[in-house]
Structure 1
Amino acid sequence: MRGEQDLIRTLRTAADRVERLDLVAGVAARRRVRRTRQRMRVLLAAAAVVAVAGGTTAALSGENQRAQPAVTPSAPRYTSAAALWPNAVAKVPARTAEGWKIHPVTALSATEVLMLAPAQALGQPSRLEVYDMARKTTRVLGQVPGIKKMTAPAGLAVGSRYFAWYGPRFGKPTHFWIMPRSGGTAVHVAQTTANVDSVGLTEDSLVWSLQDSGGVYRVPLTGGAPSRLTGSDGLHLIAWPWAAGYDSDAPTRNHNRIVNLETRQSFDVRVPKKARLTQCTSQWCTGELKGRMFVQRADGAGRKILPAELKPYSPRLLVGDRYALAWLGEDRAPLDVLYDMSTGAMAGLGERLPGTQVTPVTDGLLTSAPSTTLFWNQDAPPRESGKSPWDAKEWTVLNLLAVRR
């Protein structure tokens, strides 16, 4: 086990998740987050959280590619995301027309961002909206039916024709709903008594995987009896059609195989010796090796050890299909760094202004697949103001679907 400071960085996720629950529930007190962070250091001192990242279809081709030697980049250079990708950064409202808090979930296109307005009270309906970054307009999609003891869904997926979500996360039963991407009335599709960890959509079906034992299930969008997908034993959905297996049940476990549930192709992940928290999608893999972040293809090709300044940020390390999110420390600028695993570019996210509260860069909160947006409050309040950075007037959003490939 590494030193306390290293562990604290790894446990950042637990505190971030509390902050996210505060956001969804409308709780503003950051002091509560700090107290929770302290408790987490004690309760989880023997464990670290799981980091998510990604692996490529090209790299998963099965060709005999040898793993490249680890390469340590030179001193890191950060370019602000706004300068690097000017068309991808915008301000979006943090309040609805009625004054409800609202936050980004994921990008739908190069200009459209899916937004969620959490319910005003537990068990009440929440709402989905779309914000157009180019037109600076908002369009209401429809209500998300109330979920017992929650103010928002536990997880959400975006398909070509529908949105899908589920909730509660640890309740019996768990319900699944869909809504057309054009908006409208939510339709109940299925329910299960098992704990769900991810949801996805195909052209005609809703799919999900189980929290503990794994396994992927499918039900038609028109409803019916769920069926378990053949060959999905032990697998957990990443982003349809991709799913992954783990090498153990340990908190620091690694992905050991990637499976395409449509083609049934299966690829072993070449995990470096003594690596931990390695996770992949169809584009890249990332993890931690001797206290350093690394990125690679699933077969080990193109492996790079990232600069020591970049630290694992959260269980959702992967953003989109090729980006890894890292942080530099509580007293260093920028707020966080997004590493483009395809090009090696490092984008600085936000500014850390003297005397202001630290405002975490947050992903889509709800998405089962890696979110294609990141957001933060650039106008964070002074530390002694008693105000929460989550009580924002507007969010600064990075829309990765607007980044040129």
Structure 2
Amino acid sequence: MHVLPAELPDGRKVRPRLMLDATRLLLTAAAGSGKPGGLYAYDVNTAKATRLAALPRPSGTTLFPDGFTAGQGRIAWWTARGDGDRRTADLWTVPADGGEPRRLTSAPLPPASPAGRVTGIAMGIATGIVTGIAVTPDRLAWSTGDDGVFTVGLEGGRPRRVEGTRGQHILSWPWIGSPGTFGDTETPFRSVTNVETGEKHTRNDVMACGVTICVTRPDRTSIAHVQDRDGRGRRDVDVSGVGPQPLQQDRFLTAQLPDRALVHDLRSGVTAELRDIDPQVRFRAPAGSGLAVFRRGGDFVVVDLTAVR
């Protein structure tokens, strides 16, 4: 767990995005005081923030940088231009140690709606997983609204839709699924498909799902049933305060109660409790973010879920 200020020394507000490695946390800083928005690496040991890059904002930009991920020595994100039925997503990359951002490609977005956002973005790496967001070995992949999953080579070019992925969203490559993470009532990723093997799994009447497991709470108590997607290996776990959400790292659920925040580890059955968390400020972690982020006064409290063994 790391605690860091919610502002840079110059007063600009920051937001934690992901862990670049075991000690460096990627932050985005808002524009202000004549300074552009930017990417910063915050060293959790020295409490020092180092600027990595500017955040370009092309003319007509209406949705600002989001969807951050990292891998293969790069950081990637997206922005959007235009309104209504004519919106375009710009996909960007920059070296993870800093440099000049590059627009890798641009692609049409669906009409503005909760479903019309870039819902997952991933950098290609050989291991197949980076910060919980999945990848291919040599391409950038993203899902957008109900249009499906798209990829583009790391050298840029025209994006291509992955065949048969309309209505699907990236969970952890090569796993995609539906429904996506937008909305407050539907459980994300009840259905998942492996785009490389064609393997499919579907579970109904669940409150949270990951790649391999799902969580049900039939009697509406705090005790939930955790099972493999095929129904095997049932165990009971306390999931107080949890609502519909994707599992982080295929094992974690988070909750915010009026007096505390909770991080439930479904693998060990252990729950971490964080006191004095601001109940009015909530951060919804996208599938595969690998972080649980909370506010405590003028600070962020960040739990690096990728570091839990």
Normalization by structure 1: what TM-score? Answer: 0.61
Confirm or deny that 1:343 pairs with 2:268.
Answer: yes
Q: Of residues 30, 34, 41 in structure 2, which corresponds to 1:130?
A: 41
Q: Provide Cα deviations, 1:2-35, integer angstroms capped at 9, x if missing partner.
A: xxxxxxxxxxxxxxxxxxxxxxxxxxxxxxxxxx
Q: Which residue of 2 aligns with 1:119?
A: 31
Would you say the 8 A contact 1:175–1:192 is kept in 2?
yes
Higher helix share: 1
Would you say the 8 A contact 1:216–1:228 is kept in 2?
yes
Distance 1:193 1:327 in 2: 36
SS of residue matched to 2:109: coil
Runs (5+) with no aligned partner, structure 2: 111-117, 126-137
Confirm or deny that 1:164 pairs with 2:164.
Answer: no
Q: Which has the larger radius of gyration?
A: 1
Confirm or deny that 1:229 pairs with 2:162.
Answer: yes
Q: Of residues 178, 184, 199 in structure 2, which corresponds to 1:266?
A: 199
Matches within 5 A, 1:72-151: 89-120=1-32, 125-146=36-57, 148=60, 150=62
Would you say the 8 A contact 2:39–2:51 is kept in 1?
yes
Q: Provide Cα deviations, 1:260-303, integer angstroms capped at 9, x if missing partner.
A: 33x324131333xxx154432x3433355443554332222233
Distance 2:255 2:54 in 1: 34
Structure 1 position 211, deviation (Å): 0.7
Distance 1:327 1:296 in 2: 24
SS of residue matched to 1:173: strand
Matches within 5 A, 1:207-286: 207-213=141-147, 215-246=148-179, 252=186, 255-261=189-195, 263-271=196-204, 275-280=205-210, 282-286=211-215
Distance 2:164 2:6 in 1: 43
Calculate percent identity across the aligned residue pairs.
26
Would you say the 8 A contact 1:373–1:400 is kept in 2?
yes
> Which of structure 1's runs of 4+ aligned residues deviate more than 4 A?
147-151
Q: Provide Cα deviations, 1:144-187, integer angstroms capped at 9, x if missing partner.
A: 11264657413222223221111228841111111111111110
- Letter in structure 2 aligned against 1:284: I
Would you say the 8 A contact 1:311–1:327 is kept in 2?
yes
Q: Which residue of 1 aligns with 2:302?
A: 397
SS of residue matched to 1:377: strand
Check 1:362–1:252 CA distance in 2 against 1; reply closer, same or farther (3 A cut).
Answer: closer
Structure 1 position 93, deviation (Å): 2.6
Would you say the 8 A contact 1:118–1:151 is kept in 2?
no
Structure 1 position 109, deviation (Å): 2.3
Structure 1 position 338, deviation (Å): 0.7
Runs (5+) with no aligned partner, structure 1: 1-88, 381-391
- Letter in structure 1 aligned against 2:291: T
Distance 1:316 1:116 in 2: 24
Would you say the 8 A contact 1:120–1:151 is kept in 2?
no
Would you say the 8 A contact 1:349–1:361 is kept in 2?
no
- Letter in structure 2 aligned against 1:201: M
Number of corresponding residues: 281
Distance 1:151 1:162 in 2: 22
Confirm or deny that 1:180 pairs with 2:90.
Answer: no
Would you say the 8 A contact 1:154–1:169 is kept in 2?
no
Structure 1 position 359, deviation (Å): 4.9
Q: Which residue of 2 aligns with 1:18?
A: none
Confirm or deny that 1:319 pairs with 2:248.
Answer: yes
Distance 2:80 2:198 in 1: 32
Normalization by structure 2: what TM-score? Answer: 0.78
Q: Provide Cα deviations, 1:178-204, integer angstroms capped at 9, x if missing partner.
A: 111111111011111223322222142
SS of residue matched to 1:174: strand
Structure 1 position 321, deviation (Å): 3.5
**Root-mean-square deviation (Å):** 3.1
Distance 1:169 1:294 in 2: 43
Q: Which residue of 2 aligns with 1:201?
A: 123
Would you say the 8 A contact 1:336–1:348 is kept in 2?
yes
SS of residue matched to 1:135: coil
Higher strand share: 2
Larger relative contact order, structure 1 or 2 (CA cutoff 8 Å, min sep 6): 1
Structure 1 position 225, deviation (Å): 1.6
Q: Provide Cα deviations, 1:215-268, integer angstroms capped at 9, x if missing partner.
A: 211111211121122343432111333211349x9952563432233x324131
